[in-house]
Amino acid sequence: MSNHPQRRPLALVTGASAGIGAAFARELASRGYDLVLTARRRERLEALAAELESAHGSHSTILVADLNQAGAPAQIAAELDERGLGIDLLVNNAGYGIPGHLRDQDWPVHRDFLQIMVSAPVELAWRLLPGMLERGHGRIINIASVAGLIPGTAGHTLYAASKSFLVKFSQSLALEYRGRGVNTCAVCAGFTLSEFHDVNGARPLMNRMPKWIWLQADRVARDALGAVERGRIVQISGLLYKTIYLMTKYLPDWLLLRMSARRSRHFRVQVAQPLAERQAD
């Protein structure tokens, strides 16, 4: 724990209104943390805050923010400073996916995506690191994905790329600051039950996938918190996804890319084309 005067450790969770973000908030509250919850939907954050206070006596500060706005990370940091809140643990969780090929979307759609998935996590870490270093203790968890560890696919063009960036960013950050009390961990989960697939239009396909491939969000959160405390830099949740990752280390690139191309064609037919047709209606 940090030596700052706050009564309880404090964690900031982005994208906290549902899914993995809400699971992190619940797990952290059960471990004695107070929370700063940020997302776009105030009513969901307020409901979660009430739940955490009732169940664990955890106090939550709600900061409504849309991280696709370039000024949002600075605004969050300024509000934290104004309230005298020092963050001990940052969970960069906010994110989503864009189905289809690169030219299927206008550039502002991709620009906003990169702001949320790449720029915002880096800027929040940059702004909160000084306080962690001053106190000699901090934790940063970046929610990446197994998609960032294996070959990319056609469709969802920027998703795997953004997650790969978070993995490399986390590795560098961990090596730079672990000697000063700040641990960083990239969490690489696979398919996890959440609203993610409703947002990107992939729910019909996801519902046809076998149940055994799915991870529970609360398990991902528990695994991640244990990993960052142990100083693990990359955490892969679930035996299935650890196996998939190991396979990519030993199979030749040409075979992996061929498998990826087949999976991409299947996704295009099952998800991206029907979604485009619905949007055109």
Q: How far is the CA of 90 from the CAs of 37, 108, 118, 263, in angstroms?
A: 11, 27, 15, 34
Torsion over CA: 192, 197, 198, 203 (sign): negative
Q: Does the annotation mark 159 as catalytic? A: yes
Predicted TM-score of the model (pTM): 0.85
Q: Are 117 and 15 in contact (CB under 8 A)?
A: no
Element (H, E) at 259: helix 253-267
Size of the chain, expressed as the number of residues it contains: 281
* pLDDT one-digit tens code per residue, 60-117: 999 999 999 999 999 999 999 999 999 999 999 999 999 899 999 999 999 999 999 9
Helix (H) and strand (E) counts for the chain?
A: 12, 7
Burial 92-124 (b: 16+ CB within 10 A, else e): bbbbbbbbbeeeeeeeeeeebbebbbbbbbbbb
Of the listed 159, 177, 241, 250, which one is catalytic? 159
- Pair of tokens at residue 216: 């529970």
User: In whole angstroms, what is the distance from residue 58 CA to residue 55 CA?
Assistant: 8
Express each pLDDT in 28-38 by its tens digit.
999 999 999 99
From the centroid of its chain, how far is CA 50?
23
pLDDT tens for the chain, 281 residues: list them.
444 444 699 999 999 999 999 999 999 999 999 999 999 999 999 999 999 999 999 999 999 999 999 999 999 999 999 999 999 999 999 999 998 999 999 999 999 999 999 999 999 999 999 999 999 999 999 999 998 998 888 888 999 999 999 999 999 999 999 999 999 999 998 786 655 444 444 445 555 555 656 688 999 999 999 999 999 999 998 777 888 888 777 777 767 667 666 665 554 444 444 433 333 33
Query: Which domains does the chain possess?
Result: 10-280 (3.40.50.720)
**E strand map for the chain:** 10-14, 34-39, 60-64, 89-92, 138-143, 182-188, 234-236
